[in-house]
Structure 1
């Protein structure tokens, strides 16, 4: 139980008290108060279970009031909390698009250390997590109108609240004993493109039996429109850097700027339903040419699926208009850097800011939230409390498109079904019935120029030409929408009370309660059936002149064809479902696809997930004697039992044997753990009102936990409060914390995933590395790795005949999964706070909170890309990293390409190997200026709050091979060195409040200056960082009458947006949605 008590304070002390105990991040405007003492409403002091004066709260707190949450122009609770500097990297809905099964989840993230390291409580009690196998709480399931305040402990608190409070605690304090009827409604724009949100909330409460029983009921409906990337104006404009000059890695500086900022960028490498590029080649430039950049050459016509043969280029690339093809318009400028990812300015192509992002930037969501509760005074000293909550939420979002390459040529037999090269690479031939005639003619007549090697002074000479009647089709294909249905239930039942004095224990408060939570999620994903797509797109005319699938034409006379579905294998006849149901699919051009064909190639899966939580908590708090007049010793003891479980299934069952571009995999078998915990706290006042100072207190906390699967852990906290005068106070704390591995991290089954893989052993990639040591290491290590397969490549010269030129098509399939051998993370946090409430400015308070957090044994995932780089970038092969990757040493005889040394599988999992260090300083200033009191003229009351954070250091130690190696994140994107919020409220009359809020962030590095020095012409120096970002919000609240208040707000009033040179990546801390308006009303008829 979190103890409560009533206190009396004078007006001038009240501001300091509230700041000491919980500096309010957003101050609601309060009515003017008399100079006489006022009774302060009973408060809950988060951070300790011991009853105490709020001025002696042992840990730094931030407080957000209900009024602030209701008057803000932000759409959701998490959207507002994410504007608090300490919570700036919380997961807001726009961060969840593209995430499997996470659309719309709102997860707080303190200190940017991860949502799993932030403990979220409701009235001091645990809340079930929403993501599969996770304890992270979706805070938007907490009824907004029921929230009294949000109290945030910004430091480790596991010894008080248990595991997972590594970076801090969010405690949502709900309203108690509400009586009356309150209706709150809101309409708001969520993007300046016209999408909006609507919410209606109703809260009713009634006291019965002489106020011994309070009953309340809450209901809320909320709907948010979907925002697509193309709906955001600055994304739709296509801004970004475009390469203008190409430099070799050995001499990267030639005085010519490598990239310039352009609007209307286009990309022709992948289009909706395709572009076709004829096989072509590049002439090697003279070695003394400052723009000499080694490019892979097209040396072979036998392996016609070699990626280096299909560089997107003017005259070689075709797009579609209706059912005909034409050469692509490359606009006003073509990037000089890159081949398969060429960018042009104007002309044809997709906007990379929208097509390469996931299609949705905010999911469409519809939510209904209900909660009922009761408080019943059984006796004056015993109270029964109960609550029940049910939330139903549906989200829909587009997660991008399926993608693929189709190689067109006549180098494979026409007597069988065509091979499937990978999950996103296929083959068809020039007899494809949908292939436009002019494009077929161009492919058949195509020739490539063969060049010799470049010399020191001359480009590669033309040796001759060779017939190259083949091309590559590249496309974004079918949509991949995702649908989620979530239900969350939570039930609380308990007793609390005051037992008076028991022996040496005075004023004994006790609480015993049980909480049950359950979160269910039903997910539906849609994508592409790989095998059926390969059959449908390979369309021909049969003997009757009808367009059919090739597999139908070949089996019509009783023949058989190879079943290209690796999950089935064997052969197929005309009666096989995949043949009999096949509908020819015209892939050449957007809009040419029949619905029947799209239905045939559609694949879908659905699955269900469940989290359950049982939590029983008992605590007692009391006071001992006052030995030396400093105040009574406080003590709290308690025990807690908690059980977490999760399970999920349906992926495998719904997919069956379908070979799909979807994230299939095994079911999540039921997994669980339980933990028994005992805890205690002790606070010892050292002195009060002596020559040593006004007050001092030493307090400590301890918790021992026994996890059924991870064993025992012990954590502690030590706190010291020293107030030399009523104007100045110091607080310091040292806390240890743990985070147990989540069930998802430990037991998640291996599921299929896809990776756009950049091979660190590709010769061209090695030579593009600017660090000489890493480049030389990769040459040696890749050669060693290749030798293990009996292979030899030239890893130095990209133009050499035997250079390693991997062709992965569009992606590589691999697996993600859990690790049951994980151990708990361990952390230590230190804070030191200074609180100033000067008498010369009685309404001014200043708080400075310094913090340090170090987390060891951090559970971190090692991506396949990172593992591949770590495998070959060190002085020798990193065998641990290499072991997670599978390469092939053979060339598949049925695949018309060179497969040798390609990555064919990978495992991505988490291990205890990383470390996190973070240091910073939070600062808060609050000032109230009453013109009547200060100037003698009643011109209104001003309330000002300044809240900010200075991020001194944020280091991630993620190199498994070199634990001392770290990445410094401070001042990089998402991690501003300084972020602050300035809030000014003005109340000219009692019924009107006007507000102005400014969110300001320092510039964040895109390219580190030390890297820019090595290539000082890479871009305009102004584009090295994001530039400072400022957003202004304005609000107004008018009390029409006692029972009706109207509010209005404009968010991002001056339409601030992120730096245009950031391109396609959406950084939510910069507010991507432009100027938007909201109006709301609050009605209390009784």
Structure 2
């Protein structure tokens, strides 16, 4: 029967080479190069990630790294993203360590170019996106069935679609599974928190005289939270500027127009208390997942096979923030509010921003009818942490299914066809509790007495903001604390047909025939967000940062593609092999029109055991639905040092003029509040006029497998990726830097900063305080280059098999420029609010193992080079000396695996063996999502030493 189808600059290289030499002598990597992967049966037709050409005798030009099943078994992972997050060349993105800013997804970011510039595949097939950015949530991947993970980091646009600029991650599942497998694992930190549990049952077998095979797998995963308050280094929010505890200016008691209420005197004072928000946040977000996967194939006739697969996943992710509050929003405060004393009322009236005469103030004291001419409700900014509500809690529930059906088979003995269709739908319901509604707080301020609102039609209960900080009644909380929700839906439909095989001839100097693949593909992407009325109303949900406005969009694309791999010379002097590889793809997008993607490369093997390879690729990426259609909203971004805040402008006429031109009242110069919790308002949105971005990718490499050292494989690959006309959004530094360096109030950047009209700050309601206006355009430029290397060695010794694997990456540059006039920022080896997640200049991941039939023991080592605070950001940031750099970071793990019985394996893993603590840099030095709990928890281990025990039973 036919078998079933199926890598600061170069000057640091010498120093790092010494590190690598130590690594090779001691450890081994979590990934291996394709050439070091376990070989498959030569008779099987295999699909190599990075090409649709399936001839196993052809080795292609793009570098492919592989995480094999043995390594997967040693990782106590809850999601597929965790399997490769620590690999060099992969930059940590959204996942379980992101709390404030989490979308509930686990995403992969190759080369630091963004999760939207690489593709995640399951058995070479696209998966339905999780949201409007088109990014795949790897929570969908059935872990129990993963055979290996292939990572193509040289671009894959020609093969899989023009949007695969930085590469492709392909999760390859087991084929023709037979029998039953039960696997389970449980892990917990040394602090007895953060427990993780996983269980999977997989059943499979052949049927119809081995003409078909079916497999079914069901899995359950859950993880408990780890609070920042449960770690000594995370309990207190630290200022990145001073290194001292510094929380949010929105605290208790209440502050009116920047002056805080003193319960002892009953008056407003200059004293300020800050609120420590850290203890409520998560280092590890709670997660629960139930998934089902099924697949089957059946040979309906000789050489013709029908196949299909389906998956369903229900995921629940929870996030938690400190109690909500009134974050400097403007409210109308009636002077007849029953909780105002005469002295406090008089003090508010006398404030410069209020400016109500004493006579008017006295006359308004007892007037509760808004239609009365003496009624006064002046606009004031109010800061008050609503601790009576409890923590803000968000639940993100995903329901995802995807179905695929296809037929494949032989056209001739050497040419095959494959036609398949895929349809997937994803629904995410975002539910929030304990945030509160702005309109109801405003309504509750308009009160007749302590028990009755002026408008009591909807059960309004007055709110008391003038006490010690625990004075809001339970009834008032119940009135303004209403749950809110929003639903995100996405759909993906893909129809693909391809023909591949042997062209029927070979070049005269080669014996292996020319191979080809041609085909066509249609894709349709639909996505929408439907919020409830509160979520979709500007400034309505307290503490949300931004409104979740309704949005929707759709685009489709028709593509044709082709590949050719031609062996030119084989088995000749200095030409053990010479192969040419070319390919092209034409894509016609409904929103951006037609574009062409192509690749050209080849490999030369002068002698057996030495192979040189290279490939040049041109790609385009069409904007996704979010980039095109997202409505303009005002949210939050980290920025702790407002040049207009405090006494900075005093005596500086030019600076004062800029601050006033941006909307700050002249009377507040010298007393403008600093950014609350190190965050400012930022306004951003989509742009329907966006066009495609263009990318050029170069990869050059070598593979050495010396015959004199059996079992040794060394690969080195240089890559250079340039994206022009890049779809980018300006950073806060792109606006503030040029503005406050030039101090020209008429400059474009200065005009992109709009301040709170009452107090001049960059905090407040979205209606009157847009803050930094960050535009999205096609005017950006991205560039990254570096060197990947892999060293693999395996040999039998007297009592065991020794295996060594080292996988490393030098990132020479990772530059980002949002506009031609903007600074071309370097983020490789640097961190700041302008750089998102940490991208080290040098990373190493390695593992050394001893194994025999009875089991194995292995030691893993992960090395991250030191980082520095971004020099370009220093002009607008006063950073604590100890936080200006992060030293190199090393983490070790040990894994023991025992074959208890022929059918039972038991694994014990200790992660972070020496309980390495994360580097501390404070809470305001980087972007909100990744700089949290005084560190970067997605890159550095904030959980501490962890123990995991697992078992797998097969029969």
Same topology, TM > 0.5: yes
Q: Match of 1:721?
A: 603
Note the alpha carbon deviations across 1:284-315, whole angstroms, 9 max, x for none: xxxxxxxxxxxxxxxxxxxx83x4x66xxxxx
The 1:618/1:429 distance shift into structure 2, 3 A limit, reads same
Q: Match of 1:969?
A: 827
Matched, 1:493 2:401: no
More moved, 780-789 vs 1071-1080: 780-789
CA RMSD of aligned residues (A): 4.4
2:815 is paired with a residue whose SS is strand
Matched, 1:599 2:462: no
Partners of 1:213 and 1:910 lie apart in 2 by 51
1:148 is paired with a residue whose SS is strand
Q: Match of 1:414?
A: 335
Partners of 2:636 and 2:526 lie apart in 1 by 28
Matched, 1:380 2:302: yes
* Preserved CA contact (<8 Å) 1:268 1:341: no
Q: Match of 2:440?
A: 532
Note the alpha carbon deviations across 1:524-551, whole angstroms, 9 max, x for none: 1231222433565x6xxxxxxxxxxx71
Matched, 1:978 2:842: yes
Shift of 1:1000: 0.7
1:603 is paired with a residue whose SS is coil
- Identify the match of residue 500 of structure 2 among 617, 621, 624: 621
Partners of 1:946 and 1:522 lie apart in 2 by 42
- Identify the match of residue 696 of structure 1 among 548, 566, 578: 578
The 1:139/1:214 distance shift into structure 2, 3 A limit, reads same
* Preserved CA contact (<8 Å) 1:402 1:480: yes
Partners of 2:616 and 2:328 lie apart in 1 by 61
- 1:469-480 to 2 correspondence within 5 Å? 474-475=384-385, 477=387, 478=389, 479-480=391-392
The 1:618/1:590 distance shift into structure 2, 3 A limit, reads same
Partners of 1:589 and 1:890 lie apart in 2 by 25
2:476 is paired with a residue whose SS is helix
Note the alpha carbon deviations across 1:676-721, whole angstroms, 9 max, x for none: 1011111121211112321111111101110011111101101110
Shift of 1:1006: 2.9
The 1:223/1:619 distance shift into structure 2, 3 A limit, reads same
Shift of 1:582: 0.6
- Identify the match of residue 838 of structure 1 among 696, 699, 706: 706
- 1:94-113 to 2 correspondence within 5 Å? 94-95=97-98, 97-99=99-101, 102-103=103-104, 105-113=105-113
Q: Match of 2:416?
A: 509
Note the alpha carbon deviations across 1:719-761, whole angstroms, 9 max, x for none: 1100111121100110111111110111123445356777966
The 1:736/1:766 distance shift into structure 2, 3 A limit, reads farther
2:708 is paired with a residue whose SS is coil
- Specify the structure having the higher radius of gyration (Cα): 1
Partners of 1:809 and 1:975 lie apart in 2 by 27
Note the alpha carbon deviations across 1:305-351, whole angstroms, 9 max, x for none: 3x4x66xxxxxx9699xxx99999xxxxxxxxxx9988xxxxxx755
Q: Match of 1:1083?
A: 953
Q: Match of 2:324?
A: 402
- Identify the match of residue 950 of structure 1 among 773, 793, 810: 810
Partners of 2:535 and 2:864 lie apart in 1 by 47
2:461 is paired with a residue whose SS is coil
1:145 is paired with a residue whose SS is helix
* Preserved CA contact (<8 Å) 1:269 1:341: no
* Preserved CA contact (<8 Å) 1:652 1:664: no
The 1:883/1:712 distance shift into structure 2, 3 A limit, reads farther
* Preserved CA contact (<8 Å) 2:661 2:745: no
* Preserved CA contact (<8 Å) 2:507 2:569: no
- Identify the match of residue 1047 of structure 1 among 883, 894, 907: 907
2:869 is paired with a residue whose SS is coil
Shift of 1:229: 1.5
Q: Match of 1:1026?
A: 886
- 1:640-679 to 2 correspondence within 5 Å? 640-652=521-533, 659-661=540-542, 662=544, 665=547, 667-679=549-561
The 1:658/1:240 distance shift into structure 2, 3 A limit, reads closer
Matched, 1:430 2:310: no
- Identify the match of residue 687 of structure 1 among 563, 569, 574: 569
* Preserved CA contact (<8 Å) 1:924 1:947: yes
Shift of 1:786: 4.8
Partners of 1:513 and 1:714 lie apart in 2 by 24
- 1:748-827 to 2 correspondence within 5 Å? 748-754=630-636, 762=644, 780=654, 783=657, 786=660, 803=669, 805-807=671-673, 810=676, 815-827=683-695
1:236 is paired with a residue whose SS is coil
Q: Match of 2:198?
A: 199
- 1:271-290 to 2 correspondence within 5 Å? 274-275=252-253
Shift of 1:239: 6.9
Note the alpha carbon deviations across 1:223-272, whole angstroms, 9 max, x for none: 111222112343137777774xxxxxxxxxxxxxxxxx6xxx54476476
The 1:187/1:233 distance shift into structure 2, 3 A limit, reads farther
The 1:930/1:891 distance shift into structure 2, 3 A limit, reads closer
Note the alpha carbon deviations across 1:339-385, whole angstroms, 9 max, x for none: 9988xxxxxx7556x15xx7223221211100111100011211100
Note the alpha carbon deviations across 1:437-467, whole angstroms, 9 max, x for none: xxx99999x9xxxxxxxxxxxxxxxxxxxxx
- Identify the match of residue 1006 of structure 1 among 861, 869, 881: 869
- 1:188-267 to 2 correspondence within 5 Å? 188-189=187-188, 192-236=191-235, 243=242, 266-267=245-246
1:1068 is paired with a residue whose SS is coil
Q: Match of 1:361?
A: 283
Partners of 1:38 and 1:119 lie apart in 2 by 28
* Preserved CA contact (<8 Å) 1:583 1:600: no
Partners of 1:160 and 1:981 lie apart in 2 by 29
Q: Match of 1:177?
A: 176
Matched, 1:1036 2:900: no
- 1:1-150 to 2 correspondence within 5 Å? 25-26=30-31, 43-53=46-56, 56-95=59-98, 97-99=99-101, 102-103=103-104, 105-130=105-130, 132-150=131-149
The 1:5/1:718 distance shift into structure 2, 3 A limit, reads farther
The 1:656/1:750 distance shift into structure 2, 3 A limit, reads closer
Partners of 1:119 and 1:1057 lie apart in 2 by 33
Partners of 1:849 and 1:390 lie apart in 2 by 38
* Preserved CA contact (<8 Å) 2:227 2:284: yes
Shift of 1:1011: 6.1
Note the alpha carbon deviations across 1:926-965, whole angstroms, 9 max, x for none: 011211xxxxxx221110001110111111113x3615x3
* Preserved CA contact (<8 Å) 2:429 2:485: yes
Q: TM-score, normalised by structure 2?
A: 0.82
Matched, 1:922 2:796: no
Partners of 2:682 and 2:787 lie apart in 1 by 42
* Preserved CA contact (<8 Å) 1:266 1:350: no
Shift of 1:552: 2.7
* Preserved CA contact (<8 Å) 1:180 1:1084: yes
* Preserved CA contact (<8 Å) 2:783 2:814: yes
Q: Match of 2:612?
A: 730
* Preserved CA contact (<8 Å) 2:645 2:674: no
Partners of 1:818 and 1:606 lie apart in 2 by 22
* Preserved CA contact (<8 Å) 1:185 1:201: yes
Matched, 1:157 2:145: no
Shift of 1:67: 2.9
Note the alpha carbon deviations across 1:850-901, whole angstroms, 9 max, x for none: 1000111121223567545545544855755456555688999xx9x999x9
User: Gaps spanning 5+ residues in structure 2: where?
Assistant: 7-27, 352-379, 832-837, 924-933
Partners of 2:400 and 2:888 lie apart in 1 by 40
